[in-house]
Amino acid sequence: MLGGANASIPMHVPLESAVLSSEQEAYLRQYRRLWLTEIDLEEAKGAINEIFLRNLRRPGTHKPTHLLQALTTALVVAYTRPFIKLRGNAAFADRTVPGALLRALASNERAFHNHLLEMRNREVAHSDADITEVRLELIPEGHGGICRVTRDPLTRPELRLLLSMIEKLEAELQVRFELLRTKLPLNVWL
């Protein structure tokens, strides 16, 4: 507990977990995945809001700033994380959110969602040489190169669209949280 100057702060507080049926364990894994999704979507929103707050814009004639590139990378990774098959502990949380969650999105939003997944897989999380224009000049002492940046920052309309999509997904998450809370015990650590 936090307190006066002499108070000790415990590093780890062991919690007794409730005993659940196998059916409840499955609901708990779903709840945990949705909870983690909520955190990821908040992180993506934070990156978008930071881009707007700092008035960072996609340049027309020169390379984007490092900050805009970093925030673009952060928002794409955070937004897509729940929709990628993860390697995490399946006993703790489902690996991906239910695909039904995406039913909240309109067809143009779903197309943009798929674009972001593609962007994550080919440009953000990996350097896919197949889509990168690279010209190299090898010299005895090393090399020189020209590379077209494939990770173009999102436009203002795309950022606003993504914020709208996140709001829809967050509303859908709340509906699912409410449903799962009716199937899980309340006021105990799970």
pTM of the model: 0.79
CA-closest candidate to residue 48, choices 174, 155, 121, 172: 155
CA-closest candidate to residue 98, choices 29, 188, 148: 29
pLDDT tens-digit map of 67-98: 999 999 999 999 999 998 766 555 566 667 88
Check residue 161 and give its pLDDT: 98
CA-closest candidate to residue 51, choices 147, 169, 162: 162
pLDDT tens-digit map of 10-23: 667 667 788 999 99
Label residue 170 exposed, middle or buried (CB < 10 Å: 0-12, 13-18, 19+): middle
pLDDT tens-digit map of 15-67: 778 899 999 999 999 999 999 999 999 999 999 999 999 999 877 767 788 89
Check residue 64 and give its pLDDT: 85
